[in-house]
């Protein structure tokens, strides 16, 4: 069965009071100075040369933090967080900061099944964890060949570990958003923050940010405002039906604004849907043309193209929005990593790394075929289509052979090795 543990928020690194103070004094060094201890290293106080007042350094910095200035963003913190999947993705959803990194659990054998207290749904979690534990054990014992199936059954309350790095002021705004949008999580998260000595002094500022735009701009009702952010040029907007497995990957990409996840989490608390990563919701995205092209170049790679083209919980859902059925290579080659922005072909970008691993994987039950372009083998594309079904991206790969960008080469040494393995 599963156990419930409280969320934990620990500090990895943070800006010291002295660093904050030095930044502040840069604009006021004509009448402010730092006084050090006898060792000449340890700061003790701040001296106002105009008034001859002396302030303890801790109190002075605390007063600086009371002000709502751009200067306050100089105070940065890196946090190691152990919370639910739901809260992790809620935090990662915020695009005002870039420092996000999560521990992967893709290949990790599960020894414990832990629910994070802030996201526990007592009416549904027992059933959610029962399913997840069974499917996970089946996968680890070879009875369930598809890892994505196991991942989709992961409850949103499942406890995971990750890190974020951002200005403390921005984190306080995220806390205010939790208070407003996810009230059932608030008490557990407040306690976790209070137990963190670096965060505790900042908790008193949460009330200042309950009405700021950051608290509401990721709601669907604010979608139009999200879509018109001025930093985006040639903006693409889409409404997607997604699951949490895909969503958690989308929000780790920079400069992709989303709306809809808040409503999804609120809805799950009210209805009878099991709160796991398979539950789908309407997600609104906005993204610049240049960023869209970068993402598609990654997600159209041979190893990245998902064979279940109709899934709403893999990148196929995203690709369907921009690469239609029957797509012509000359029009859509800008979305393949082998072509530059002018449409010039770069064969050196066809990766040969990891080919031997791909050949070994081919012997597995549900493995992908080795890279058809790297092996210069058109028939590999056909075989993959015959096994899993066709999709527009594989259609583009066929056109690369048919239009002469890649030649079919029986003498390719990697291809010959694969053909030998296939005979075994």
Return the pLDDT at 98. 67
210-262, pLDDT tens digit by residue? 877 767 778 876 554 544 444 445 467 788 999 999 999 999 888 888 889 99
Q: How many CB atoms lie within 10 A of CB 157?
A: 26
Q: 385-397 as b/e, with b when 16 or more CB fall inside 10 Å?
A: beebebbbbbbbb
What are the backbone angles phi and psi of residue 220, rounded to the nearest 5°?
Answer: -60, -35
**Domain-embedded: residue 284:** no
The answer to whether residue 297 is domain-embedded is no
Same-domain status, 207 and 323: no
**105 band by pLDDT with thresholds 50, 70 and 90:** low
Contact between 150 and 139 under an 8 Å Cβ cutoff? The reply is yes
If asked whether residues 53 and 191 sit together in one domain, one would say yes
Quick check: is 277 in a domain?
no
- Specify whether 170 is located in the same domain as 32: yes
Q: 399 or 138, which is more confident?
A: 399
Q: Are 156 and 275 in contact (CB under 8 A)?
A: yes
Q: Which of 216, 248, 264 is the last residue of a domain?
A: 216
Residue 245 belongs to a domain? no
Q: What pLDDT, on the 0 to 100 scale, is given for residue 354?
A: 47
Domain that holds residue 19: 1-216
Residue pair 403/345 in contact (Cβ under 8 Å)? The answer is no
| Structural domain ending residue among the three candidates 197, 216, 235 | 216
User: Which two tokens mark 245?
Assistant: 């497995």
- Under the banding of pLDDT at 50, 70 and 90, the label for residue 307 is low
> 1-21, pLDDT tens digit by residue?
789 999 999 999 998 878 888
Q: Do the domain assignments include residue 274?
A: no
Write down the pTM of the prediction: 0.85
Percent with pLDDT over 70 in the chain: 86
Same domain, 25 and 149: yes
Residue 230 within a domain: no
Task: Give me the number of domains the chain comprises.
Answer: 2
Q: The CATH number of the domain where 45 resides is what?
A: 3.30.1360.170
Of 216, 242, 272, the last residue of a domain is 216
């Amino acid at each position: 069965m599963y156990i419930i543990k409280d969320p934990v928020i620990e500090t990895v690194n943070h800006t010291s009071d002295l660093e904050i103070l030095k930044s502040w004094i840069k604009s006021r060094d004509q009448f402010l100075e730092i006084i050090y201890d006898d060792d000449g290293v340890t700061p003790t106080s701040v001296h106002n040369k105009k008034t001859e007042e002396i302030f303890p350094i801790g109190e002075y910095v605390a007063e600086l933090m009371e002000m709502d200035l751009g200067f306050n963003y100089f105070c940065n913190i890196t946090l190691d967080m152990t919370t639910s999947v739901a809260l992790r993705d809620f935090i990662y959803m915020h695009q005002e900061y870039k420092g996000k990194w999560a521990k992967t659990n893709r290949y990790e054998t599960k020894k414990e099944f832990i629910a994070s207290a802030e996201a526990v749904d007592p009416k549904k979690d027992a059933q959610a964890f029962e399913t997840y534990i069974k499917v996970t054990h089946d996968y680890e014992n070879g009875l369930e060949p598809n890892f994505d199936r196991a991942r989709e059954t992961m409850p949103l309350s499942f406890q995971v570990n990750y890190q974020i790095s951002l200005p403390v002021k921005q984190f306080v705004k995220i806390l205010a958003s939790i208070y407003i949008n996810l009230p059932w999580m608030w008490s557990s998260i407040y306690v976790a923050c209070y137990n963190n000595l670096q965060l505790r002094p900042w908790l008193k500022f949460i009330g200042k940010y309950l009405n700021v735009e950051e608290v509401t701009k990721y709601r669907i009702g604010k979608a139009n405002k999200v879509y018109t952010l001025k930093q985006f040029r040639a903006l693409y907007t889409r409404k997607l039906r997604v699951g949490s497995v895909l969503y958690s990957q989308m929000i780790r990409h920079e400069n992709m604004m989303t709306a809809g996840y808040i409503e999804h989490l609120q809805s799950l608390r009210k209805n009878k849907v099991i709160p796991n990563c398979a539950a789908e919701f309407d997600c609104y995205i906005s993204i610049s043309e240049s960023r869209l092209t970068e993402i598609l170049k990654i997600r159209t790679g041979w190893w990245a193209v998902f064979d279940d083209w109709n899934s709403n919980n893999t990148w196929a859902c995203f690709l369907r929005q921009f690469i239609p059925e029957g797509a012509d290579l000359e029009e859509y080659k800008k979305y393949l990593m082998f072509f530059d922005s002018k449409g010039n072909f770069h064969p050196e970008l066809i990766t040969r790394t990891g080919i031997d691993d791909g050949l070994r994987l081919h012997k597995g039950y549900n493995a992908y075929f080795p890279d058809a372009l790297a092996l210069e083998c058109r028939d590999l594309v056909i075989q993959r289509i015959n096994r899993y079904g066709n999709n527009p991206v594989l259609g583009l790969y066929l056109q690369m052979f048919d239009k002469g960008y890649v030649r079919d080469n029986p003498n390719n040494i990697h291809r010959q090795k694969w053909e030998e393995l296939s005979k075994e």
